[in-house]
Amino acid sequence: MVESRGLKRRLPAGIIDASFASLATFAVGLAAVNLLADTERGVYELFFTAFLLGGVLPRNLIFTPAEVDAVGFPLGMRIGLINRTLRLGALPALVGVLSALLAALVAAPLTTADVIIPFTLTAGIAGFLSPVQDHVRKMLHIATRSWLAATVSIAQFVVAVVAIFGMMSLDIEIAWIPFGALSLANLTSLSLGWLLTRRFQHHSPEERSLRFASLARRGRWLVLQAAAPSLSAFLAATIITRLASPEALGFAGAARVVAQPVLVFATGLTAVLGPRTIEAAMKRDRAIARHTGRVFLIAIGLAGVAYLGVAGWSWALNPMTRLVPAAYEISGLVALTIVANIANAAIFLQMHELLGAKRELTLAKLSWSISPILILGAATAGTTDAFARAIGRLGESTTRFFLQIRIIRPQYADTELIESEHAGFVPT
């Protein structure tokens, strides 16, 4: 009961944390969509997919395995692990810079150096900082300091907005603004999160069990599983610019910005429910895992459908039509993108459950077998135009959801047998 009450108190903090952290990205995307011309908007979207790709290595090689291991430490020791995990993950985070260079190579024929150079420099900095600050906030949740994480993300959002308007008032070239503002926001989040936890940073012999080699040994499978969808997303964006146009990718990017709150909500729920699900899978506690998963899916379904009703279409009571008008220039694009995001959100907690069950290799195999669906969707861009990415995402996420259910179910087979025996029968 005490644990349940604690979870209920922290759940709003998790949603607030994820909401404001994502609102920072939303504000940046909003600025990009409204300030950039159609072609440059597509180039920004290409750099954004590269930015997400750059975070794959540090998040999955070091940070995620460290977060999973941190759940196994006594509660009072968890927050003290931050300094060590940051040191271990700093070098892999430099891959964010390389991803920006990759985007520059692909985007070079599409626009001028006046756009490419600012995007490359600022996206590289943001790509390095983003996974690091994200890890600090996740560790705060794992240490049950969810309200501290919420404070950090609120500051992140405020800095992003101030930076956008500040740079606009100084007449700074538009290409410097989106990722430049995001870089400043991420630096603020990282710095504040570290300062707020500084007094809890006590070294202990146990933290030495977190070693780069052991984390990377497990994390390599997570890198493989995360690289597949991120790489597919980047390739899909590239294909759409070639088969349709950069403008088509720009419209798809505008729809992505509108649909983002669905994933924001899911990320917030996962931040709080994820550690509980990981622990349930570790202990093979089928009852807690099933209850947590049911709560998650109901919340995602209700929130997603409600948001679809409000923001899916251009009508008088939809505020997004005024905030992101470009998203609604193609009828039905936003609605399909929201539906695709609902399907994508549904797999979040399942992945944590498989992490808790130490099924990293399974996740990797699953990602590489399913992610090509996103590329197949992009390959239809010659006829489906801006809809291509949403079509691919919907197909990919739906397929993965049902396959993960089939993979998870056997994890509790022994538990189900025991429960059946206690009930007075044994299943055949």
Per-residue pLDDT reduced to its tens digit, 1-35: 434 445 566 677 877 887 788 888 889 988 998 99
How many CA atoms within 13 Å lie on the side-chain side of 151?
A: 12
Q: Name every residue whose Cβ is closer than 8 Å to that of residue 299 and which is 6 or more positions away in sequence.
A: 265, 269
Quick one: pLDDT band at residue 219, thresholds 50, 70, 90? confident
- Give the three-class secondary structure for 371: coil
State the CB neighbour count (10 A cutoff) for residue 283. Answer: 12
Max Cα separation, the chain?
75
- Give the three-class secondary structure for 195: helix
Both structure tokens of 83: 């300094």
- Tell me the per-residue pLDDT of 26-70, one tens digit each, with 9 for 90 and over: 899 889 989 998 889 999 999 999 999 999 999 999 998 888 888
Torsion angle, alpha carbons of 333, 338, 340, 343, to 10: -170
Please give the pLDDT value at position 412: 73
- Give the three-class secondary structure for 217: helix
User: How much is the mean pLDDT over the chain?
Assistant: 87
**64 in Cβ contact with 223 (< 8 Å):** no
Determine which of 110-119, 209-218, 375-384, 408-417 has the lowest per-residue pLDDT on average.
408-417
**Which of 292, 314, 310 has its CA nearest to residue 302?**
310
Quick one: pLDDT band at residue 414, thresholds 50, 70, 90? low
Q: What is the sign of the dihedral through the CA atoms of 211, 58, 137 and 261?
A: negative
**116 in Cβ contact with 250 (< 8 Å):** no
Determine which of 118-122, 131-135, 205-209, 324-328 has the lowest per-residue pLDDT on average.
205-209
> Token match 């399907």: residue?
343
